[in-house]
Amino acid sequence: MNKIKQLVITFVVAFLVVIGIGGTAHAARTDMLDVSDYNNNGQALTTQQYINLRNNYGIKAVNVKISEGQTWNASTAKANISNASQAGLYTNGYHFARYNSVVTAQAEARHAVQQAQVDGLGIGSVIVTDAESSAQSSVSKATNDQANQAFAQVVQQAGYRCDIYTMGSWVNTKMTVSDGTGWIAYYPYHVTTDRYTGNHAWQFSSTMTFTGLSGAMMLASYMITTIRPIRIKMLLLATHRRPM
């Protein structure tokens, strides 16, 4: 007898501007997956699994964790990027930030860019800086802003685009997240209305399940700016988010 495996994830709403992805924003739509080594029992999702998620759940995009700090690389990133792309999904990446200065942010950005290239993330894709660690909590807002800007500059110089992920309680208190940017984590008890509609994305829950996938995961969302504006929501299989 085959066991039906379920994947626990977090809910996300995103307001995206993307190429080739259509849709209308409604609360709790599942449009994007954020996948890392911590998901699916440490195994990359197959192309068929991505196709099933696309066909059965309306997934349209994937955000893949590619790197962390100055040395860590995601072992499943290359396969996830390739398989998601083969399934026809819009694919981007993110870097978990450990920096808290301009110098360390630049070093991490160089690492993220190098790994994105190794993993086959196309030029013009987004590399999100996931800024929520104790390193950022230990410094001032001004220092975080300078570091985030330094990270973005290196990423952009390499031909990628950049955005910021952080928790709702840090928005414009621990770091600047301007209107029209940012992937924000905030979990209401009831998801009855869209929030953070002025930002790129809203990560709103951690309780959804999918059949056919294994492992506990979290959800998030974010918006990407490209040529043709389309507002959609996104679902992400995030891994280590602890929004406050």
pLDDT in the model for residue 64? 94
Compute the half-sphere exposure of residue 121: CA atoms within 13 Å on the CB side of its CA: 32
Q: What's the pLDDT at 118?
A: 98
Q: What is the per-residue pLDDT across 97-127, written as a single tens digit (0 to 9) for each? A: 999 999 999 999 999 999 999 999 999 999 9
Q: What is the pLDDT of residue 206?
A: 60
d(CA 2, CA 5): 9
| Rounded CA separation 177/175 (Å) | 6
Q: What is the pLDDT of residue 103?
A: 98
CA distance readout (Å), 202 to 109, 163, 168, 209, 219:
24, 13, 9, 19, 10
Q: What local confidence, expressed as pLDDT, does residue 32 receive?
A: 72
The DSSP symbol for 170 reads: G
Report the alpha-carbon distance of residue 190 to residue 105 in Å, rounded: 36
User: Residues of the chain whose pLDDT is less than 50?
Assistant: 1-26, 28, 216-244
Q: Report the run of H or E that residue 34 belongs to, with start and end.
A: strand 32-35
Looking at every residue in the chain, the average pLDDT score rounds to: 78
What's the confidence (pLDDT) of residue 207? 61
DSSP 89-152: -EEEEEEE----SHHHHHHHHHHHHHHHHHTTPPTT-EEEEE--SHHHHTS-HHHHHHHHHHHH
Query: Residue 186: its pLDDT value, please?
Result: 83
